[in-house]
């Protein structure tokens, strides 16, 4: 018998009589007995103190002291404690996206500052209020290119993150867009070319060399970039730039939630997905913020909407805004420089030990060639090192950030066999 202690016996009988059954169990009479749960096997009630002790005991089973060299789209980076402290204030940490953002000048200003910082970081003219993540930002950039050019073919480099490419394929199939990874011919049928730099394998690309292959000026170039890399690498000259905000003050969090940034040239701003916050003056001549562009289907006629994105990741973007504000230009450059220094230090040590790298032209991730990827990674894990992502039987993707100490780097070299 199900337990409904929240209601009195009389209330339960009244509800059962109203729907014409004799027992709450009758609600589930169509379910076979073999799939029903006979009790939850819970312990007797515990006090808050006892529950806390029990949870701590369970948590000790987890191993959390690994040296982490995992990347591939999300990396362990330093996050100042002030990021969480500020972004979790009740003024910001609402239960849902602020649909009526006009009534919250603070929220609008934080989004405006985020957009401004992204423009400064990317060298682009306009940025929107954020996307779900880098994958959806890439897909939306392709849809935007199709709207602008009237063409229905997109070229996506093979070295773009495979998870991003899966999302792109899903978007493209529904929109009848042809996606190809053959970048050898960029002709007049192509709406856009999408590449990632540094790419999924960590390599840095000369974007201008690719752009020189374009047959006309109508084909758009989309670049997906790690925002940390933009602190020390010159932003590529492109039409649309996208990327993930996870490196900018957002924890790994078992895979999310993350957010994406989306920026473009000024001439394309009316085709940008989502929404854009602008700054103006109110009737008293005071600074004020408002939603300047709202091109999603919930704000304008569906046939004129640029995207069906239902919200941005405002809270995640806020954390990135606080992070960038705290570090400033100098801090971001320092984070990027330390990451590069650490990555190349480990790479040099592994080369001296006899390993080969797929490329030496990398930012903070590189592909290491090994004889047996599983044995290589398992040996590192046995010594409290998460050594990277297995790409295939003989290649491992290694990511190094400012969080990896010299001791961890030396340990990686020692146990790499």
Per-residue pLDDT, averaged over 163-171, amounts to 97
Contact 314, 97 (CB under 8 A): yes
pLDDT in tens, 174-192: 999 999 999 988 999 999 9
Q: What is the pLDDT at residue 302?
A: 67
194 burial via Cβ count (<10 Å: 0-12, 13-18, 19+): buried
Residues 6+ apart with CB under 8 A from 267: none
% of the chain surpassing 70 pLDDT:
94
Find the mean pLDDT for residues 272-291: 90
In our burial notation (b when 16+ CB lie closer than 10 A, e otherwise), range 227-266 reads: bbbbbebebbebbbbbbbbbbbbbeeeeeeebbbbbbbee
Contact 312, 112 (CB under 8 A): no
The third-level CATH classification (topology) of the domain covering 98-323 is 3.40.640
Angle (CA) 176-159-162 rounded to 5° is: 60
Q: Domain ranges in the chain?
A: 9-59, 67-78+326-415, 98-323
Task: Report the candidate in 220, 223, 218 with the shortest Cα–Cα distance to residue 207.
Answer: 223
The three-state secondary structure class of 6 is coil
Judged against a pLDDT cut of 60, whether residue 262 lies above it is answered with yes
**pLDDT confidence tier of residue 320, bands split at 50, 70 and 90:** very high
- Mean pLDDT is lowest, of 207-211, 233-237, 331-335, 400-404, for 207-211
| Mean pLDDT, range 152-160, rounded to an integer | 97
Residues in a beta bridge with 362? 203
**Please, which pLDDT band fits residue 306 given cuts at 50, 70 and 90?**
confident
Of the candidate ranges 8-12, 152-156, 158-162, 371-375, the one whose mean pLDDT is the lowest = 8-12
Average of per-residue pLDDT across 200-211 = 93
With beta carbons less than 8 A apart as the criterion, state whether 112 and 292 touch.
no
How confident is the model at residue 1, as a pLDDT? 46
| Average pLDDT across the chain, whole number | 91
Q: Which of the 8 DSSP states describes residue 186? A: B
pLDDT at 299: 63
Most confidently modeled range among 26-30, 144-148, 295-299: 144-148
**Contact between residue 256 and residue 133 where contact means Cβ atoms under 8 Å apart:** yes
- The number of residues in the chain equals 417
Q: E-assigned strands of 70-132?
A: 126-127
pLDDT in tens, 91-103: 776 545 555 555 6
pLDDT beyond 70 at 48:
yes
pLDDT for residue 353: 97
The CATH architecture one would assign to domain 67-78+326-415 is: Alpha-Beta Complex (3.90)
Distance CA 319, CA 102 (A): 21
């Amino acid at each position: 018998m199900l337990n409904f202690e929240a209601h009195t016996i009389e209330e339960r009988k009244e509800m059962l009589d109203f729907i014409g059954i004799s027992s709450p169990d009758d609600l589930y009479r169509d379910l076979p007995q073999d799939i029903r749960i006979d009790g939850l096997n819970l312990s007797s009630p515990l006090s808050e103190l006892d529950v806390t002790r029990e949870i701590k005991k369970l948590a000790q089973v987890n191993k959390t002291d690994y040296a982490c060299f995992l990347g591939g789209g999300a990396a362990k980076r330093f996050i100042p404690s002030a990021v969480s402290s500020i972004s979790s204030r009740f003024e910001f940490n609402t239960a849902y996206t602020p649909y009526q953002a006009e009534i919250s000048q603070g929220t609008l200003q934080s989004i405006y500052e985020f957009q401004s910082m992204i423009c400064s970081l990317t060298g682009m003219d306009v940025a929107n209020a954020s996307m779900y993540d880098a994958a959806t930002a890439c897909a939306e950039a392709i849809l935007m290119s199709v709207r602008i050019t009237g063409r229905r073919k997109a070229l996506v480099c093979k070295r773009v993150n495979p998870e991003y490419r899966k999302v792109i394929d899903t978007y493209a199939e529904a929109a009848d867009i042809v996606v190809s990874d053959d970048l050898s011919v960029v002709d007049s049928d192509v709406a856009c070319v999408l590449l990632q730099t540094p790419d999924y394998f960590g390599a840095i690309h000369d974007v201008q060399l690719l752009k020189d292959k374009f047959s006309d000026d109508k084909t758009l170039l989309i670049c997906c970039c790690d925002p940390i890399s933009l602190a020390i690498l010159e932003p590529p000259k492109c039409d649309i730039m996208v990327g993930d905000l996870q490196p900018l003050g957002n924890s790994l969090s078992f895979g999310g939630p993350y957010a994406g940034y989306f920026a473009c040239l000024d001439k394309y701003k009316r085709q940008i997905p989502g929404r854009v916050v602008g700054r103006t003056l109110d009737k008293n001549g005071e600074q004020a913020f408002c939603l300047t562009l709202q091109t999603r289907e919930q704000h304008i006629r569906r046939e004129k909407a640029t995207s069906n994105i239902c919200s941005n990741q405002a809270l995640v973007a806020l954390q990135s805004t606080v992070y960038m504000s705290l570090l400033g230009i100098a801090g971001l450059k320092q984070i990027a420089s330390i990451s590069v220094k650490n990555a190349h230090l480990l790479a040099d040590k592994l080369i001296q030990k006899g390993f080969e790298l797929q490329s030496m032209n990398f930012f903070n991730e590189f592909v290491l060639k090994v004889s047996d990827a599983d044995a290589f990674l398992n040996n590192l894990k046995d010594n409290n090192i998460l050594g990277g992502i297995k790409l295939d039987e003989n290649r491992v993707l290694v990511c190094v950030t400012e969080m990896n100490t010299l001791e961890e780097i030396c340990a990686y070299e020692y146990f790499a066999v």
